[in-house]
A and B are shown apart, each in its own frame.
Chain A
Amino acid sequence: MRIDIESGLRRPKIDVHCHVRPMPDTDASSDDLIASGDAVGVAEFWCSRPITGGRLSPIEEVRRNNDDVLRAMGHHPDRIRGLCFVIPGHYKDALTEVERCLDAGMIGIKLYNQYHLSDPAVWPVLQLASERRVPILEHAGYPTAAEDLAQQPLISHGIHFAEASRKFPDALLIHAHIGGGGDWERTVKEMREASPNVCIDTSGSNLDDGQVEFAVSELGAGRVLFGSDGTMAGSVGKVIDAALTDEEKERIFWGNAERILAAQGAKPLRSRE
Chain B
Amino acid sequence: MLIDVNAWLGVWPFRSLKDNTPEALVARLDRSGIDIAAVSLIEAIFHRNVQPANEKLAKAVQPCKDRLLPMATLNPTYPAWEDDLAACHEKLGMKGVRLFPQYHGYPIDGPLGRQVVEACRERNLPVFIPHRIEDARERHWMDPGKTVDLGAVAGLIAAVPGATVVVPNARGVSGSDLWQRTDLRDRPWYVDLSLWEPNREFANFLNQGGASHLLFGTHLPFSYAGSALVKRATLPLNAEGLADVSYRNAAKIFGLKPQAA
Q: Which residues of A contact B (CB under 8 A)?
A: 1-3, 5-6, 8-9, 32, 36, 39-40, 141, 143-145, 148, 181-185, 205-211, 230-242
Contact = CB atoms under 8 A, between A and B. Distances in A.
Contact of A232 (B17, B134, B137, B197): B197
A207 B195 contact: yes
B31 A2 contact: yes
B106 interface: no
Interface of B: 15, 17-19, 30-33, 134-141, 145, 171, 194-195, 197-200, 219-231, 233-234
Contacts of B227: 207, 233-238, 241
Contacts of A238: 224, 226-227
A3 B228 CA distance: 13
B137 A3 contact: no
Residue in A3, A8, A239 with the greatest tally of chain B CB atoms within 10 Å: A3
Secondary structure of the B contact surface, majority rule: loop
A40 B18 contact: no
Contacts of B15: 185, 208
B137 A148 contact: yes
Given A39-B234, A207-B195, A5 B138 contact: no
A205 B136 CA distance: 12
A261 to B, nearest CB: 26
A237 B33 contact: no
A208 B15 CA distance: 10
Contacts of A184: 138
A67 B190 CA distance: 43
B137 A145 contact: yes
B139 A236 contact: no
A236 B230 contact: yes
Contacts of A230: 197, 199
Nearest to A142: B138
B230 A209 contact: no
A3 B230 CA distance: 11
A217 to B, nearest CB: 13
B136 to A, nearest CB: 7
A209 B195 contact: no
Contact of A206 (B18, B137, B200, B234): B137
Contact of B137 (A39, A182, A231, A234): A182
Nearest to A235: B227
Contacts of A2: 30-33
Contacts of B139: 144-145
Contacts of A182: 137-138
B18 A144 contact: no
B223 to A, nearest CB: 4
Contact of A181 (B17, B135, B226): B135
A89 to B, nearest CB: 26
A145 B18 contact: no
Contacts of B145: 145
Contact of A9 (B19, B198, B230): B230
Contacts of B220: 209
A16 B235 CA distance: 24
B228 A237 contact: yes
B138 A240 contact: no
A3 B233 CA distance: 13
Contacts of B140: 144
A234 B218 CA distance: 11
Contacts of B194: 207
Contact of A5 (B19, B195, B199, B226): B226
A32 B140 CA distance: 36
A3 to B, nearest CB: 6
18 contacts: A1-B31, A6-B233, A8-B230, A9-B230, A9-B234, A36-B199, A40-B234, A148-B136, A181-B138, A206-B138, A209-B19, A209-B222, A209-B225, A231-B197, A236-B227, A238-B226, A241-B226, A242-B224
B248 to A, nearest CB: 20
A8 B222 CA distance: 22
Residue in B136, B137, B141, B171 with the greatest tally of chain A CB atoms within 10 Å: B137
B35 to A, nearest CB: 12
Contacts of B33: 2-3
B141 to A, nearest CB: 7
Contacts of B222: 208-209
